[in-house]
Amino acid sequence: MRRVALFLSAVAALGICLGGCTRLESTYLKKAGEAERLSGELAALQQRHRSLEEENRALQANVAKLEGTVRGLGEELSDTRSERDHLRGNLGFVTGERDRLAADNRELDRTLKAKADSLSRTIVELRGKVADLERENGSLRQEIAALKKAQEEKVEKVGKTYEGLMSKMQEEIRQGQMTISELKGKLTLNLVDAILFDTGKAEVKPGGIAVLRKIVSVLRDEREKAIRIEGHTDNVPITGTLVKTYPTNWELSAARAINVTRYLQEQGIDPGILSAVAYGEHKPVAGNSTPEGKARNRRIEIILVPREP
């Protein structure tokens, strides 16, 4: 700028020297003023240029900064787009899972409803069965009570029968000709054979008839018990002429049991509850090695047992 000013001054001086006149001086002054104006404008322009350069540098710095920001935003946008694509993929998966779960849930609802309906029907059926069982249980309780009562009555009746026989047969019991026992509703009259039969005979003798008549007086009204007459002997074989009639003790014990059974029937005891059984020597109650043991084995047993349905 100083060089420009010096140049203009030189020009003005040269004009003065060359013109040497007023016109030249006027022109010089005009030129000098114009030069000064131009110099001011130039200085202003230079100042403006410097300002613009500074602004340009600032703008370039801002541009660089903005470019960095743009690059960062671009990278962020790329990441965001990648994240968006990833999220879209996840959204598709989640949507598919949601739809699948919704379908599973609907199927589960249908299954649960079907099970609930089935369970409700089962509950209704079970309630009906419970009601039936309660009614049946009530009937069974009544039946048990009736059976218990009937059993008690039977036991009581057996007890009365036992007491009646014990009272009627006191003499025979005292003489050891007869025993009476009662166990769990089973009443057994054990009569030695001599009280009913003569040796080797099956017909009931008069004294035996008297004994049986006393027994019948107690048993005649018996309806709930079966009466089994059992014939028993010792192990002494049948000999002599008796063999033709009774080949073995079995036949003799059978004939004796049958004759006692027939007499009880003739005296009015229901034949439907009577039975005759023969054991011969095969069910002893004592050893046969002594006369006393043999005497105990030769017997008639009249047994009262529960009737079969």
The owner of tokens 């309906």 is 117
> By mean pLDDT, which of 51-55, 178-182, 236-240, 291-295 is the weakest?
51-55
Assess if residue 127 is contained within a domain. no
For residue 206, tell me if it sits in a domain.
Answer: yes
Q: 11: pLDDT confidence band, cut at 50, 70 and 90?
A: low
Backbone angles phi, psi at 169, to 5 degrees: -105, 25
Is residue 110 domain-resident?
no
29 located within any domain: no
Name, of 4-18, 146-160, 278-292, the range with top average pLDDT.
Answer: 278-292
DSSP per position, 182-205: EETTEEEEEEEGGGT--TT--SPP
3-state secondary structure of 230: strand
pLDDT attached to residue 176: 92
- 227 lies in some domain: yes
212 residue type, one letter: L
Q: Which residues of 97-115 are buried (b: 16+ CB within 10 A; e: fewer)?
A: eeeeeeeeeeeeeeeeeee
Q: Read off the pLDDT band of 21 (50, 70, 90).
A: low
In a domain, 53, yes or no: no
Tokens of 59: 């703008």
**95: its two tokens:** 């949507």
pLDDT confidence band for 10 (50 / 70 / 90): low
Q: Which pLDDT band holds residue 5 (cuts at 50, 70, 90)?
A: low
User: From the CA atom positions of the chain, what is the Rg in Å?
Assistant: 72
E strand or H helix at 299, and its extent? strand 299-306
For 183-211, write each residue's pLDDT tens digit: 888 899 999 999 999 999 999 999 999 99
In a domain, 131, yes or no: no
Given a contact cutoff of 8 angstroms between Cβ atoms, the answer to whether 191 and 263 are in contact is no
Can you give the CATH number for the domain in which 221 is found? 3.30.1330.60
Q: Is 309's pLDDT higher than 70?
A: no
Phi, psi of 277 (to 5 degrees): -130, 140
Angle among Cα 173, 304, 224 to the nearest 5 degrees reads: 135
Residue identified by tokens 């090695």 is 289
Higher local confidence (pLDDT), 115 or 150? 115
- As a three-state string, the secondary structure of 134-188 is HHHHHHHHHHHHHHHHHHHHHHHHHHHHHHHHHHHCHHHHHCCCEEEEEECCEEE
What is the C-alpha to C-alpha distance for residues 265 and 160, in angstroms, rounded to an integer? Answer: 22
Q: Does the residue 201 lie in any domain?
A: yes
Mean pLDDT of the region 21-27: 72
Number of domains in the chain: 1
Decide if 264 contacts 227 (C-beta within 8 A).
yes
Query: Which has the higher per-residue pLDDT, 69 or 171?
Result: 171
Residue span of the structural domain in which 279 resides: 169-306
pLDDT tens-digit profile of 246-255?
999 999 999 9
Are 191 and 181 within 8 A, CB to CB? no
pLDDT bin (cut points 50, 70, 90) of residue 143 is confident
Determine the residue type at 211.
V
